[in-house]
Structure formats: C-alpha cells, structure tokens
Structure 1
C-alpha cells in the first residue's frame, strides 16, 4: 500500500542532518513550512535556512538560528551575494530548550515570514529577498528532525522518491485526477469540528497534525454523518492501553473493535501526523508517513459522511480536508 500525499502537502521524514528539503515552484503567500524535531541535549546551535538554491553558498532568504551558548538567543538574517545582512535578534521568551521537542511553523505572508513555535507567534521577519526565489529548506546543527512539511507546494509529478538522508513523499496522482483539498486550518482548538464540503469521496486525503502532551491519555478522530449521527470511522488512540482502536457507531450501537497494527507510533511528548485516504472499499491510514492500517467501509454511502471531529488530550497543529 503506497503512501499518497494530500495535494500540495509533501513531507521529508527523519532526515540525516544537515539536510535539504526542496520547495518546488518557489514560495507564495499562504504556504507554510512545518518542522518538528528535538533539540540535542548538548546543542550549541541549529539553523533553519530558506535557501535560494540547493547548494552551499546560495543566497538565504531567511536564516533562523537558535543559539544556546551563554544567553539563549535566536538570530534572524539573510545571506545575499556572498555577504550577511544586518542581524535581528530575539533574546526573550525563547521557546527552544536543550533536549526538548519543538514544532516551528514558517507562515509565508505577502510582506514577511511569520514564525510560530509550539503554536505561539514568535517573530515576524520582513522579506529582504523575493519569496519566489526560495527553492529549499536547509537544516543544520545540533538537532534531530522528525519531519519537514511543505503545505501548499506545487511539486511536479514524478521525481526521486527517496533523496539522500530521508524519505521524501512525492505526489503520485494521475493527471486530471487530483482531489480537491480545502485550505489548511492552523492551530485549531480542541475539540475541533468541521464540515466536509460535498461529503467524503474516493481518493480524498485528510491530514491531522498534532502533539500529545505529557500525561495525555487518548484522542480520537471521527468521520460522521450529520444526517444519521452515525460514526463511519472512529480512530481512537489510547495511550493508557497502548492501543489504537478503530470502530464504527451505526444505528446507535458500536461494532466490533479493530486493534491489530504492526506498530504503535503514538507516544506522549511527541508530534504526529496522520493521513487518512478514502478508497473505494476502505480507508487507508498512514502515521508519520508509514503505512499503519486499513479499515473497510461499514457505512457504505460515504458521500453522506460530512463531518470531521477531533477530540481528546492533544494539541492540534494543522487540519486539512
């Protein structure tokens, strides 16, 4: 079962550091770069660069550099024509800690990059180099990266599936057969409810990204029909049972639980991304880019499934339907 990403949603998982993750077609307003990882216990620094080429010495439109030597500081800058520009520094409210996980989001705006860390606005950096020139995200330093995700990318069909140092999930849609995706919702509240315009249809992918805090016991994702109040798919992560339960609530009664899985990727204190793709006869569910399970349709009229619910002990980063 091959992973098929949502349109415009492409991820590099667990790359070696340093690494470069390509951005096809350049940046444009409304796009976002999500990076999840963990600062090394003895880290002196790490850097995230929005590079204008995939080679050393290229111009850098945004240099984001947390430093942990002495007073914790984050340095912002650009590198152009072989020279660094004027530094911008932030010395207060630094959210990065040695040995701790983090998630940073670089939201591309018409006049600036809005950088959020752990779901909270951190810094706004005004454009000095046209965003359209950016071709890749470059990460270096004392950090372990779980994923680099480009939301809103225009990656071309085909291309290498696995570049050096990580697994790059490339688009695999046949031409003229692209599913319609909605606008990503960033950092929505939990519980989260949203309508699925037009209902569920085959070859449609739903994305849920989030974080399980320490002490979190469970969370769930429900695909429901507002007309019947049935739950076509109940995806329930139960950390207290070390289980991921799948089930359906039809006609007021729960069916038989499905629990078998090759591994359990969910742990407290870690980030996750879940991709649920609706096939003709089943849901295909991937976690962190890896095949996790399939779930056969028990509610056959999928077009009547028009509501997505997410609840439980998690912090949501992004939902895309």
Structure 2
C-alpha cells in the first residue's frame, strides 16, 4: 500500500467517524483528501471497499501483534491467550474503530455486514483453536461453544460496565475475569460431554499454504527492491533471510517467527513500515497453515 493511499484511508476513517459512514459521500472524501475522483477509484472501487480496507488493515495489525506475543512463549498459558484477545480490543480503541463497527452493524448494507461477519467468524475460529491449545485436545469438541461464550461474556460485561459507570471499562480486568470463569465452564462441558455447536458452524477462511508461499516470495522480492532503493540495508538483510528460508525445503518456523518480529521493529521508523506489516501478516498466515498441515 503506497503512502498516498494510506493517507486517503486515514482521512476517510475520520470522516466516517465524525459524520457517520452513511452520511459521508465519496465527494466528501475527495474534497478532504484533495484528490480527484479518478485517483480515489484507482485505489478503491467504492466507498464500501475503502471502509473494508480500513477494517482489514486493523485486522492484520491485530493478527501480527497476537502472533508476536506467542514467540518463545507457552501456548498453554491462559494469561497469554487473554493478552492476545486484549490485542484486538486495544487495536480497535487505538484506531477508534468502534463507531465504524457500530455503523456497519446497524446498517442495511449486505456487502459490509457479510464482510464484518466473515471476520467475526474468523475470530471465533481463532479463539476456538487457542482454547484447544490451552485446555488440550479433550476440549476440541467444545471449543466453538466456548469461543462464542467467551466473546459473548466479554461483550456483555463491557456493555453493562459502560451502562453502570462513568469510567471507561477496565478491559484487561474484564478479559481476565472472563477466562477465570471459562475454567469452570470448560471443565464442566468436558465432564458432561456437552456440545451445542458443531464445527460446520464456523467457516474456514484459510488460504492454502502453497498460494501463500508463492505470494510471500513475490511480495518479499518486490519489497526488497524498494528497501534497497531507500537504502534501508538492515531491513534488506531481514528480507533476504526470509526469502532464503522460504525457498528451503523445510523452512524453520522458529527462525521465521524471530526474524519477522525483528524485521517489523527495524522497519517501524521507515516509510515502508506499512508494506512490511502487510507482508508479515501473510507470513504469519503461512506459518500457521504450515503448522496445521504438518
């Protein structure tokens, strides 16, 4: 994503929050961003696609931060899982996306509602998988039920807190409270062999690992050239390493994880930081797919 497109997204997001998504027109975005209609439609096919790009960018940021938290840590640690769930809430707050999600939720726009629904299903699937990591394989039949209840408890406790207090909810306290309750729920469901939702309720949104690997290599080569042009040589070294590792018969996941985090940190102060994030999002998806299929 080029810098100009990102600036348009930031301006559009501010307008969506200030005026409301429905009340904001493409013309409003053109005037505020000082761009032509042709430039806007070169970036996005519609106002909806602009909004979806904003939400997708936030989703990718959440995925990267969550995966970075796992590096070198025990995936069975419940506090770690609670911290990962907090990441999504923190990113939404940092980027002030809650008003946008609410606008989509109450809209009649089927395209946007389906887009947000897909991400919600993806979130439920991710939580279900992490619950199995934490509670073991015996929790697998109950994981989707518990993922729905986890999000439901967090959301309802959050709403009640807002209704009953003038202070902002302590989301860290709220999430950790939820996971303490999940201990008893999961234990009882396993003991009672109680299942409501089956796997088919959660759609698989995974991209095949082979497709990801090819795209990763292509995108990394393109990024490496840009890094060389801008003389970000320390970042070039990270790109080179990732490319070499991806070309090997059996990429070493632990090294990919460690180097990707260092790559992200090194690129944070550069004009290509956003592009690095986009590629690292694909890398984490490739790593997860590779683990699943191994």
TM range (shorter): under 0.3
Give the structure with the higher percent helix. 2
* TM-score for both structures, normalised by structure 1: 0.22
* TM-score for both structures, normalised by structure 2: 0.24
